[in-house]
Amino acid sequence: MEIVFATHNKNKVYEVQLLVPEHIKILSLETIGCYDEIPETADTLEGNAKIKADFVTKNYKLPCFADDTGLLVASLNGAPGVLSARYAGAQKDSEANMEKLLVALKNKENRKARFETVIALNLNGQQLLFNGIASGEITPTKSGTKGFGYDPIFKPEGYESTFAELPVEIKNKISHRGKAMKKLIDYLNKMEK
């Protein structure tokens, strides 16, 4: 089975390809010749995931899934939330996003946060949603070189390391995207039987 992952983020494609069984081949937007920046104009993660999946279904007529992820920080009333990728501006600069968040939390004692991922799957004329949550806290400084996005400042519950310090195999088991992908993969496996 071939399925499009509606993202331009090569790190996401890499992590997801490690999760899926060999009989499922993940195609990126570039692979199908899509270089458009699909606008994320919804005010929810679910809405943005649907927009991206629907764009591929409408324009390329291929089975696909898309995700949207937000980092919700308790003491910031859930910010940056749906704007996580654009927290410091439209340029989607991870370093600037982390710096802005660390400044916002400078004098806050409560550093609890959670990542939420929503995946929209468009397959056989149906749309299904899968979600995953990873709880943890924001560290005072960046640590680690693996991963992407906010990984260097997010320490998941039960670990002393940030996502950026953990091997990708461990991160994939406990991360928000990993949990949502497991539900998606379970569904695709049932469809194939």
Rg of the chain taking only CA atoms, in angstroms? 16
Q: Which residues are catalytic?
A: 68
The pair of three-digit structure tokens given for residue 49, joined into one six-digit string: 């995931």
Crossing angle of helices 10-19/176-192, nearest 10°? 50
What backbone torsions phi and psi does residue 58 show, to the nearest 5 degrees? -70, -45
Count of beta carbons in the 10 Å neighbourhood of residue 109: 6
The number of beta carbons lying within 10 Å of the beta carbon of residue 10 is: 11
- The rounded distance, in Å, linking the Cα atoms of 54 and 50 is 6
